[in-house]
Chain A
Amino acid sequence: QSVLTQPPSASGTPGQRVTISCSGSSSNIGSNYVYWYQQLPGTAPKLLIYRNNQRPSGVPDRFSGSKSGTSASLASSGLRSEDEADYYCAAWDHSLSGWVFGGGTKLTVL
C-alpha cells in the first residue's frame, strides 16, 4: 500500500488530454513539493516534473503539473504513442522523514 494514491490506469487517444491524480496528506503533498517520474518498460524512472510544475530541459511542454492542498495532478495534452508508460508521483514526507511514492498509473494510448 503506497503512501500516495494514484489511479492504477488511465487512457486516451492520440491528441487527447489526459490527467493523472495523486492524493496525499498534510505531511507530504500538503507541505512539500510534488515530483512526477515516467517509467518505460525495463528502465529506471525518469524525472518528468519537479517542484509541482517545473519541467526539466528536454521534457516536452505537453506535460504539465499542478498541486492544490494535499493533491496533485499530471496532465499530458496532445497525447502521443510514446507517452505510453507508467507514471509515479513522489513527495518528501516529514512525518516519515523520507521520500514517498504513489503506486503508479499505467497510461495507455488507444
Chain B
Amino acid sequence: QVQLQQSGPGLVKPSQTLSLTCAISGDSVSSNSAAWNWIRQSPSRGLEWLGRTYYRSKWYNDYAVSVKSRITINPDTSKNQFSLQLNSVTPEDTAVYYCARDFPWTAEDYFDYWGQGTLVTVSS
C-alpha cells in the first residue's frame, strides 16, 4: 500500500520560503513510471497543480507557469521523499498543500495517492 506522509511548517512569513516534504512508502521516488506532484487548494484559487518531479534515466521537473519563477521540487533518493520550495511567498500562497502520485503517459495517468494535506498560512 502506497502512503505519502507530508511534513513541514504551517506558518510562513511573507517574503520567506515555504518548504514541505513528502515521504513515500510503498513506492520509490526513483520509479521509472511514476511522477511526484505538488498540488494546492485554497478558497480563492481552487485546486492548483504546482509541479512534479520524475525519473526517466535522469531527473525531470515540470512547473506550473503561475509559479515557475519561484518553485523548486527536488527528489531525495536517500530518504525516498521529495520536497517543495516556494520562494517569496505572499498571503496569496496561503493554501492546503498536497503531494500526490500519478503515472503520466500511461493508462493510469491520474492522481491515485495523495498526502494528508498541510495547511500553510502566510502571515507575519
Q: Do A and B bind each other?
A: yes
> Which residues of A line the B interface, CB within 8 A?
2, 33, 35, 37, 44-45, 47, 50-51, 88, 90, 92, 96-104
CB distance from A48 to the nearest CB of B (A): 10
Q: Could you tell me which residues of chain B, from 101 to 124, have a CB within 8 Å of some CB in chain A?
A: 107-112, 114-117
Which residues of chain A are near B62, meaning CB under 8 Å? Answer: 97-98
Report the Cα distance A48→B114, complex, angstroms: 14
Which residues of chain A are near B107, meaning CB under 8 Å? Answer: 51
Using A44-B117, A98-B64 as known contacts, say yes or no to A2 and B46 having CB atoms under 8 A apart.
yes
Which residues of chain B are near A97, meaning CB under 8 Å? Answer: 62, 65
Residue of A nearest to B107 (CB): A51
Q: Are B110 and A35 in contact (CB under 8 A)?
A: yes
Which residues of chain B are near A44, meaning CB under 8 Å? Answer: 98, 100, 114-117
The SS class assigned to the A binding surface is: strand
Size class of the contact patch on chain B: 20 to 34
Report the Cα distance A33→B65, complex, angstroms: 21
Q: Does any Cβ of A come within 8 Å of B48's Cβ?
A: yes
> Which residues of B line the A interface, CB within 8 A?
37, 39, 45-49, 51, 62-65, 98, 100, 107-112, 114-117
- Residue contacts A-B, CB under 8 angstroms, 7 given: A2-B45, A35-B110, A47-B110, A47-B112, A98-B51, A98-B63, A98-B64
Q: Are A45 and B47 in contact (CB under 8 A)?
A: yes
> Which of A33, A98, A103 has its CB near the most chain B CB atoms (within 10 A)?
A98
Which residues of chain A are near B49, meaning CB under 8 Å? Answer: 98-101
Q: Are A33 and B47 in contact (CB under 8 A)?
A: no
Which residues of chain A are near B100, meaning CB under 8 Å? Answer: 44
Residue of B nearest to A2 (CB): B46
